[in-house]
Amino acid sequence: MAKYKNSFRASAWDPIMIIAQIAAFQSISYVSLGLLITAAQVLLGLDSSLDHALHYTSLRSDTVFGWTLAAIWLVQAIVGILLLGYIVERVRLCVDFTLTFFGIHLVMVSVYSHRLPNFFFWWLVSLVYVVVTILGGEWFCMRREMRPIQFGSSADNEHDGDHHHHHPDEMVDDANDMLMVGSNGHGNGGRASSSSTSDQRGRHHYLPLVETGRPSSSGRGNNGSFRVD
């Protein structure tokens, strides 16, 4: 039995859970951002510096490393989408968590730079990151919430799967047995007769199950079924 999946998070207000989710989202995001920036520094032969992550002047459009940082933030948006799907798991909370991350990052950049960012390119890249993360996170969370789940043990599911893949011959025999049992319960009211009308058993299978009257006095026919007078 398939049923649409709902999030396992409690709908009640849980501040401890929310704080833990924010801390996890923020921490993992900065770890992945640091790894991406470090890899870019190594590939471009630059010295490691915290300015590349927290100083807004590093994210500019007139340098190669500035465009590299812009690409890193696009990759970071994909990381944010995955974090929203596996940590937040709620469509309606994607906007809140994304804006919370950006707000904390804006405060850290402003404190580190001793002023608010005033580069248009920095704000443009940040806006693209926020929009892509929110839209992608909502889509990903919705896909996870609407994913069907199966109730019951795996063994029962395997048994059900085998039951739905019987050979046609077995299905014919099972149906004939069931109808024969049902006809015997009526006493002398009649019996069920079955016969195949195809010479090629592997290609065509018929269920000519007809309730007949009493067998004729002449007995059984050559094909093993009762004849009706």
What pLDDT is stored for residue 169 in this prediction?
Answer: 57
3-state secondary structure 177-219: HHHHHHHHCCHHHCCEECCCCCCCCCCCCCCCCEECCCCCCCC
Report helix, strand or coil for 10.
Answer: coil
Mean pLDDT, contiguous 10-residue spans, the chain (229 residues): 44 80 94 94 89 92 93 96 91 93 95 93 96 95 78 50 52 58 49 44 46 47 47
> Exposed (0-12), middle (13-18) or buried (19+): which is 137, by Cβ within 10 Å?
buried
Give me the helix-helix angle, 15-44 and 94-113, nearest 10°.
60
What pLDDT is stored for residue 111 in this prediction?
Answer: 96
What pLDDT is stored for residue 80 in this prediction?
Answer: 95
In the chain, where the domains are located: 2-150, 168-229
